[in-house]
Each structure stands twice: as C-alpha cells, then as structure tokens.
Structure 1
Amino acid sequence: MTTHEVFNQVPPLVGYDAADDPALLEGLDREGAGWAAAELHDLGRLGGGAEAIEHGRLANEYPPVLRTHDRYGHRVDEVEFHPSWHELMRTAVTHGLHGAPWADDRPGAHVARAAKFYTWRPDAGHGCPISMTYAAVPALRHAPELAARYEPLLTASAYDPGLRPPQGKRGLLAGMSMTEKQGGSDVRANTTTARPEPDGSYRLVGHKWFTSAPMCDLFLTLAQAPGGLTCFLVPRVLPDGTRNPMRLMRLKEKLGNRSNASSEIEYEHAVAWRVGDEGRGVRTIIDMVNMTRLDCLIGAAAGMRQGVITAVHHAAHRRAFGRYLVDQPLMRNVLADLAVESEAATVLMLRLAGATDRSARGDAGETAVKRLAVAVGKYWVCKRWPGHAAEALECLGGNGYVEESGMPRLFRESPLNSIWEGSGNVAALDVLRALTREPQVLAAFEAEVDAAAGADARLDAAVRRLRAELADPGEAELRARHVVERLALVLQGSLLVRHGHPTVADAFCASRLGGEHGYAYGTLPAGVDHAAIIDRATPKVGSPQA
C-alpha cells in the first residue's frame, strides 16, 4: 500500500557556477583582475558541480585519522585522509589558490587569487593549509636564503602529498604552529625553547597546543631563542630523508572544520632554521598572520554567499500557505537582508584584496589602508557570519536542521573564522593599537571613506558620528569593539555607495547606518526593492553558464 506521495520538495542546489555572483564579478573588474574571469568561471562550475559537492561531503563525513606508529612500532606521525580531501586539495593547488600571486607579476594577481578562494568552497576545511601556504611566503622572505630554496616549491601548481624531503617534491605546503596551552593568543608567553647549533640551525624543545594542518611539509613556529621570541622554519622531513622529531600527539576534536587536521605536537629537539632576527619573532610572523586574517574574512564572505544562495534556492522552490516562500513578503525581507549582508562582505573583501595586491607592489597608501582595514574587516565580517548562517539555516525550516541539507555543516563552520588568527578582542585591540601608534593608517582609512562624501546623507551622518567617537580618548579599550564596528560599517557603506548595486547600497545605508533596522535579519524598512536584491542572490541552476 502506498502511504504517501513525495511532493513540494526542493531540487538539489547543484549544477551551477559558483562564480556567477554579481558582486564578485563587478569587484574582480574594479580591482584590476578582470583578466582572470574565464578561469574563475571554470573553477566556479567545478565548485557548483555534483562531484565537488560530494567530495566536500565525504571529506567531512570521514575526517582525518592520526597514525602515530607503523605496524612494527616505528614512530611515523602521519595523518590519513579520505581520497576526497586530496581531490579538493589538488583542485585548489592546480588553480593557484595556495601561492600563485607570489610568482605572478600581473596587477590584480592577489585579487584573482582571493576571488578563487571565495569561489572554491565545497569544503571549508581544506582551505586552511591552502591559506597558510599563501601566507607563509611573505614571512619566509625575512630569510632570503630559505625563501630562495623553498618559495618556488610553495608557489608551484603541483599537489604532491606525502612525507618526503622537501627538495625532492614537485610542490610544498606550509603550516603554522604558534599556540601553546598557557598562552593562547599571548604568544609572548610561549615556553618552547630554541638552542642554536654550530651549523647555524637550532633545536626546538616544547609543546604546541594547536598546530594547523600537521601533514604539511614546512611549518613556521615561534620559540624562545637566546635573544628572545623568534620565528623558525621547521620541516617535517629533513634533507637526508629522516623524520624531524615533531611528534603528533593527537588530533583535535573540533566543533566544525572537521575535514582539516588540527593537532597537538611536541618538538623533541626538532631541527629548525631561523626566519628573521632573534627576538623579532612576532614582527616576522605577523606578515603571515595578516595574510591569513584576510583569508578569514574571505572565507566568512564566501560562507555568507553560500548561506544566502541556499536559502534563496529553497524559498524559490518550496510552497507554503498557497504560495512559494520567495513570494511571501516577510520571507522576502529576510532573504533580501541576508543578501545585503553578503554583498557588503564581498565588496569589502575584494577591496582589501586589491589593497593587498597594490601593497605588494610598493603602494604605501594602500599598505596603510590594508593595515587598518584588514583587522577591521576580519573582526566585523567574521562576527556577522554565525548569525547570518543561523538565519539562512532557518529559512529552510526543519529541513535546514538536517545534515543532508548541508546547512548544519555551514553553521558549525561559521564561528571559526572569528577565532582563528586573533579572536574578536585581539582584532579589536589591534585596531586600537594601530589608531594610536600609526596615525597614517587612520588618515588613509578616512580618505577611503570620504571618497563617497556627499553621495548619501545617512553615510555622511554616520561618518560624523564616528569621527566624534574617535576624538574621545576616554575608556578607549572598553569601547574598542564598538569603535571597530562603526569603522567597518562606514567602510562597507562607502564601498557600496560608490561601487555596489544602488538598491543594495540604499538598503544597507537605511538599515545599518540610518537606524531603520531591528536586531534580527528580516527587518529592512519598507520601500526596499527586495526583488532586485534577491535576484542578485539567485543561483542559476542548470543554466548555460553552469
């Protein structure tokens, strides 16, 4: 007997071009990387395809496993991954997400890479070693001899997994190992020691509580040398083929990001080479941290985009109370509000990718913009993502709470980017430090925001309020989060007014700057053109582009 008929179900969101994102493509041209559009669409079609989406699911369904010893009892310290992980990594590396801009002289190379990193998101976890490899290069350049030896392999477009001597591989990946149990973000409290050797190397002894991507070939780490806290390069395998005694103690059980191995390790007189001067470890490693902070922002923006297109796709195909959800006024308000937040994040991340690109080419003004705005954007966009992910999940109702929808994985991922590379307070205090110690960065930031002066009265009023707040030195640390929030909102508003879709810019200024907004998503004011905003967030499934 047939007990029920299956109907009113939403087709899978598959077979679309993940790069078919108006805010992304507009920004790609604006920031000087329009030349990368064809390759970006190729990657977008892969990312929206069934095979990549299934690889993302499998990589999380079957997380990595630590093998500390082989069958005979020899210490091996290897991490075993599902084949889908390797396929995701291979695509990312062959498309240059890990390091291509450092070997590409074309203007816009870092923007192109940022757009690809944003687009290729069937799984967020594998983005961790990709991001750290990208970020390792500028830090490694503090040791020119090491950079000359390893940078060509860190930027090579060959994915070559497995523990072998670095110089014998076709391509390398880099990780990071800084955090210790007693210090967390306070890396100056690290207790790992570094003893200099006659041959110029060092021997490291200590315990690292959180080492990202332990299957990588090289690691940047911090340890206490005779001259103070210093940055070091640690290979997993030494040039003679022996395993460097960097012991993997356990893999972390994490809320999300489960496809990626994060580990606790011990250095047992591990061989390392100094990167930068003794005692300058933080100043050296900060070049890596600033790049990974940008990637945290890009990843959060990408997560918002995935959330909103999933919600819009569901609402366009699901009927309730006699109408499609997308045709119901209150749902339209929610979807449009989520789309506004997503576009504001995307426009900001592309502007900062452009600043990174021009800074790498010696533009001092763009370096000043990047110094402040990356920390501001990392704080704000990453803070906004968890609430955005929760609201997007709720658009699917009970379906969104079920693993098969993919939304629980997105939701579990959403708090991560705010924690990594300096949690909210660390980022806010970094902004405060820059404002008080580097006056040129505030001047550059204000010039950027003022480029939209006179275009929107609500933005102008918000800028005036911000300037009054910045002029008040009282209890600056206590107010740091509020100040950073204001900085982020006026920057996003300025960028949208100048470069965004007029309807999106109007909705942003009315709600985020003009006070016509509640505490939850779905509280945009009357008069907003919801249809125009939602249309920009509607994935074209099965279209010729996909």
Structure 2
Amino acid sequence: MNFQGEFIMSAPTLFNTHVVENQPLPLPAYNLWQDDPLLKCAVMANVTSPHADVALQLDVFGQVAGFELMEHGELANKNKPEFHPFDRYGRRIDDVAFHPSYHALMSAAMQGNVHNYSWQNESQQGAHVIRAALIFMQYQADAGTTCPLTMTHAAIPALRQAKGLPDYWVNKVVHGQYDDRTLPAEHKHGLSIGMGMTEKQGGSDVRRNTTTATKQEDGSYRIVGHKFFFSAPMCDGHLILAQTGAGLGCFLLPRVMPDGTLNEVRIQRLKDKLGDWSNASSEVEFQGATAYLIGEEGKGVRVIIDMVSLTRLDCMIGSSATMRQGLVQAYHHVSNREAFGATLIDQPLMQNVIADLTLECTASLALTMRVARAVDASKTNPKEAALARIATAIGKYWICKRTPAFINEAQECLGGIGYVEENILPRLYRQAPLNSIWEGSGNVQCLDVLRALHKEPESKAALFDLLHSAKGRNACYDNHLQSLLDAFEDTATLEIRSRLITEHTAIAMQGALLLNESDSVMANTFCEARLGKQQGLAFGTLPANAPFLDIIKKGMLSSSNN
C-alpha cells in the first residue's frame, strides 16, 4: 500500500533469490520387488524353482508397496494414533483411532498375504522365505503396521496348541482379511493378534510376572494384573503370560466378548515412542478379564517360544529392510548431486561409502533369508530346525545392532536434508533402534546363543556345518573361522565375551553365505574387509583396491527411472 492506502503491484525484481539447482528430485516410485536385485537374489538363493504365480504375487505386491503404500506410510506416521478412553457420554470404550492411511496399509498388507502366506502355503518349499520378502517390502513402506502383522503371523503355532478354542481363531487368521470393526471374533472377516508379555518389574525376565490367572467353572480364566507393553491394543486378541498355580501359562485374551461387550482390559495410556509412530503400543490393566488357556498351565514360556522365534526373525527382516530403503535413498541422492566439480557418486570417497553400505545390506539380507529358509525347513529337517534356533538369535543380535549406524551413514550422504523430517531418512533413523530392543535386547540374544550351544549340541553342529561349507574359498575367511573355533573352546569366560563371539559368528555366517553364492566380487571384498580386518570401524573404510563400482552396480535399482 502507498501512503494514500492504495494497493501497488510489486515491480519485477532483478534479484531472483530462489533458483533451485543441483538438488535431486524426490526418489520416484518404483516396484519394491521387480526393481530390487538384492531382494530377488536373496530369495532365489533360498527357494528352489519358485512357481510363476509366486513371482507374480511378489511383483504385484512390490508394485502396491512401492507406489501406493509409501505415501500411506508417510501419512500414517505424521498422524499418530489417538487414545479415546470414553465416548461422549462417559462410557468406557478404550478405543484407539488411527489415520485412514494406517487402515489402508493394513488392508493392502493382509490382501497381499503378508500376515499369513506361510500358513496358507505350508506344503510349498520356501513359504517362509516368500513371506519374508513380502514383509520386507511392507516394512520399507511403513514399519509400524508390521508390528501387528508380525504378531498375527507368529501367533499361529501357539494358537494351534489350544484345546477347546473355537476353530475360527486360527481359520480367520490363516484365511481372513483386514477387518477393523469392533465385533466379536466369530463375526469378523479376519482377525489380528497382538502380544502382552512384559510387566514393569520384569521386562524380559517374564518369570517375575505378577499377573494372575484363575480358572473359572466354564473353563475360562479370570485375569488380574497389568502389562507394561501391550502391543497393538486394537487387535482382536492378545497372547499374554500370567501366573497359574502351576507357574506361567499362556492365554488368548479376546478384545471383544462373544456377547459384544468389551473384555475387562483397561488401556492406561499409549506409549510415546521414539519411532514406530503409525502403530499404537500401550500399557493396560486387567480387571478380571476373560482369557483362554493355550497349552498347559506352567508351560507358558514353552508355548510362546515359537511365536518369539518368528517375531525375532521379523526383527531381522525389518532391520534389513530399513537398511535397504536407506541405501536406495542415499544412492539416489549422490547420483543426482554435484559437489566440488563432480557428481557425488563419481568421487572415490563416496564410492567407498556407498559400496560399503551395499556390502552390509547384501550380507544382512543373505543371512536373514537363510534363517527364513531354515525356519521353513524345520518341520521336516531336524538339522535345519537346530540351525534356525541358534541362527535366529545370532542374526537378530548383529543385524539389528548394525542398522542405526547404517542409517546414520545414509543420512550423511544426503547432508542436512537427511536430517529434515520432509525426508524419509529421519523416520528410518527413529525406527532403526527398535528391533534391537524388541523381542529381547542384545544381551538376551547372546545368552540365548550360549544356551543353545550348551544345551543343544545339534545347534552347534548345524552352525559349524554351515561355516565349514565355505572353508577353502577365501584365506581371510579361513583364518577367521579358525579364530572363532578357538574362541568357542575357551569356555571359562564365554559369557562375558558372548557379545564379541556372537558378532564374530554373525559375520562369519554372512561371509560363508556370500562365498557359497556365485558372486565372488561381493564375497571376497566382504571377507577381506570384515574378516581380514582391512577396514576401520566406520562405514566407508573399505581397502583402496576394493571393486567399488562393481559392488555399487549390483545394489542399484533395476528401474529405468533411477
């Protein structure tokens, strides 16, 4: 306005200060299966002759996850779940409201069989590997929804041990679709299952649980107590541990009773978590809630162990998926950004970083899918079952530990933009530590490794059969394997050294798996750097003679858009 109050149009300026150049465009949408050579290689290495319809299903879900679900993942994390304990008239409803994108993610995932592929195709070789690939893709779009998807999938071995439980509890998980309505389980199109194991005073030491279960005349149990972590409280049922006269028992606790009333589960609050924002985690109190025994009284830990093993495998899958998406984002940026007269990816030091991240991602995915293969074969092959028991703890420890540092390195590739919430990297960074904590922290995994070595000679034999299968293919690997054998023989201080031993075992397994594949470039570089101690502690410290460009090329997206 001028002094007389009249509006004056701004004159064209000679000082245009907002010219955007040398900034990459956002990563275009891409098919998370078809365009990912690392995932395809890892799956094919562990599935013999997959059927054409299997490849088609992975392709279809890869398209959905890479195009539709990536955006839904952003929206679901920007709009956290809201807890509504009461309705407008004061009735207790214990409801958690989710953004529509959360429901879209869950619906697409269940339609894509992320939660039940293993159980629908149990007779098919590689069913657990294919299912691992499905949730690997889902995880890149949104990690939060994989929590209820993981628990629903992992609950089946436990639910099958129930006596007198209506068949629909298993059938509607194995064959059902997403149904978010608050209804009795019998009347829903599909069911989701959560977990409530830990309490304030015990954490991973579940034998300190104080929640009690008292048997009623109708055969059900009355549950009184609390859970400090009650994951995905809007699930249709939860598997919980509670004390009986004979010790800990495992119970299925429905959210809605057959008559349509809510079970006596009171949500106290939702957890204000570092990451995993799209999903709700809660604290609850059981005020005489009704539950049904799974297995036998006093055998609760034994019943739940199969579920825990499967969820630990999903921790490996999720961490590997987080790495993969971090690598994809970093590579896209450095391929489209110039500095100091050259594109970043053409600069030797950046090549070292991206190649090192590609190696780590490849090795983590190889170990993850090998464990999925062992789980898949465990029903009919005792040796694979033994390998699965020890390798799950080893892989869960190491892969989940590596992820936060990996994502931080990917952020550095983007510079300041990698620290800004408009980018996916901060979400990946917040998510990265979760899997090392969930389902047993690092110390718990290492103690499980020692327990398997001590109590299950067949697990140790299966592990070292795998390690010896690559002997003679790389000198650095052979030397590391011998050092590892010597370390296991020194039993006096085994527990206090168990983190280092588990780490060395995990890297040896990754080296063996890479050596047993046909890609000598990846395998030899990995062994010489990781096992031959030819690199530093940070990423991007591979030896100068490493074939950086060959490694990077193997990890690139196949899509012509990238």
Query: TM-score, length-normalised on structure 2?
Result: 0.95
2:128 aligns with one of 94, 97, 110:
110
Aligned match of 1:355: 374
Contact 1:16 1:542 (8 Å CA) reproduced: no
For residue 106 of structure 1, report the CA deviation from its aligned partner: 1.5
Contact 2:81 2:280 (8 Å CA) reproduced: yes
Whole-Å separation in 2 of the counterparts to 1:450 and 1:23 = 25
Is 2:244 the partner of 1:229?
A: no
Aligned match of 1:404: 422
Q: 1:60-99 alignment to 2 at 5 Å?
A: 60-99=77-116
Instruction: Give a deviation string over 1:391-415, Cα, whole Å, max 9, x none.
Output: 0111100110111111000000000
Aligned match of 2:5: none
Q: Which moved more, 1:18-27 or 1:7-16?
A: 18-27
For residue 539 of structure 1, report the CA deviation from its aligned partner: 2.5
Q: 1:156-235 alignment to 2 at 5 Å?
A: 156-235=175-254
2:45 aligns with one of 18, 30, 42:
30
Counterpart amino acid of residue 296 in structure 1: C
Aligned match of 1:419: 437
Counterpart amino acid of residue 36 in structure 2: D
**SS of the residue aligned with 1:405?**
coil
Aligned match of 2:507: 489
Aligned match of 1:46: 64
Q: Which moved more, 1:12-21 or 1:287-296?
A: 12-21
Whole-Å separation in 1 of the counterparts to 2:42 and 2:79 = 36
2:312 aligns with one of 257, 271, 293:
293
Q: Which moved more, 1:258-267 or 1:28-37?
A: 28-37
Q: Which moved more, 1:277-286 or 1:214-223?
A: 277-286
Instruction: Give a deviation string over 1:520-539, Cα, whole Å, max 9, x none.
Output: 00000122111111112222
Which protein has the larger Cα radius of gyration, Structure 1 or Structure 2? 2
For residue 184 of structure 1, report the CA deviation from its aligned partner: 0.7
Counterpart amino acid of residue 553 in structure 2: D
Aligned match of 2:303: 284
**SS of the residue aligned with 2:85?**
strand
Whole-Å separation in 1 of the counterparts to 2:361 and 2:44 = 19
Aligned match of 1:372: 390
Whole-Å separation in 2 of the counterparts to 1:378 and 1:145 = 35
Contact 1:180 1:187 (8 Å CA) reproduced: yes
Counterpart amino acid of residue 64 in structure 2: L
Aligned match of 1:316: 335
1:21 aligns with one of 16, 36, 44:
36
Q: 1:486-525 alignment to 2 at 5 Å?
A: 486-499=504-517, 501-525=519-543
Aligned match of 2:349: 330
Counterpart amino acid of residue 17 in structure 2: T
For residue 142 of structure 1, report the CA deviation from its aligned partner: 1.7
Aligned match of 1:445: 463
Counterpart amino acid of residue 67 in structure 1: H
For residue 500 of structure 1, report the CA deviation from its aligned partner: 5.8
Contact 2:36 2:558 (8 Å CA) reproduced: no
Whole-Å separation in 1 of the counterparts to 2:125 and 2:530 = 33
**SS of the residue aligned with 1:332?**
helix
Q: Which moved more, 1:190-199 or 1:146-155?
A: 146-155
Whole-Å separation in 2 of the counterparts to 1:486 and 1:376 = 10
Whole-Å separation in 2 of the counterparts to 1:367 and 1:74 = 49
Contact 1:389 1:414 (8 Å CA) reproduced: yes
What are structure 2's unaligned runs of at least 5 residues?
Answer: 1-12
For residue 47 of structure 1, report the CA deviation from its aligned partner: 2.1
Whole-Å separation in 1 of the counterparts to 2:164 and 2:356 = 51
Counterpart amino acid of residue 7 in structure 1: E
Is 2:403 the partner of 1:385?
A: yes
Contact 2:394 2:449 (8 Å CA) reproduced: yes
Instruction: Give a deviation string over 1:94-118, Cα, whole Å, max 9, x none.
Output: 1111122112121111111001111
Distance 1:495 1:186, change over 3 A: same
Counterpart amino acid of residue 514 in structure 2: L
Contact 1:78 1:215 (8 Å CA) reproduced: yes
Aligned match of 2:6: none
Instruction: Give a deviation string over 1:379-399, Cα, whole Å, max 9, x none.
Output: 000000000011011110011
**SS of the residue aligned with 2:167?**
helix
Instruction: Give a deviation string over 1:143-191, Cα, whole Å, max 9, x none.
Output: 1543733111011241111221001111000000011011111110000
Query: TM-score, length-normalised on structure 1?
Result: 0.97
Instruction: Give a deviation string over 1:435-483, Cα, whole Å, max 9, x none.
Output: 1111110001100111111111111111110000000011111111011
**SS of the residue aligned with 1:206?**
strand
Is 2:473 the partner of 1:459?
A: no
Whole-Å separation in 1 of the counterparts to 2:88 and 2:560 = 49
Whole-Å separation in 1 of the counterparts to 2:366 and 2:288 = 46
Whole-Å separation in 1 of the counterparts to 2:242 and 2:553 = 52
**SS of the residue aligned with 2:285?**
strand
Whole-Å separation in 1 of the counterparts to 2:163 and 2:406 = 43
**SS of the residue aligned with 2:227?**
strand
Q: Which moved more, 1:23-32 or 1:463-472?
A: 23-32
Contact 1:15 1:542 (8 Å CA) reproduced: no
Whole-Å separation in 2 of the counterparts to 1:5 and 1:30 = 48
Aligned match of 1:274: 293
**SS of the residue aligned with 2:155?**
helix
Aligned Cα root-mean-square deviation (Å): 1.3
Whole-Å separation in 2 of the counterparts to 1:312 and 1:436 = 44
Contact 2:249 2:301 (8 Å CA) reproduced: yes
Give the count of matched residue pairs.
542
Contact 1:466 1:483 (8 Å CA) reproduced: yes
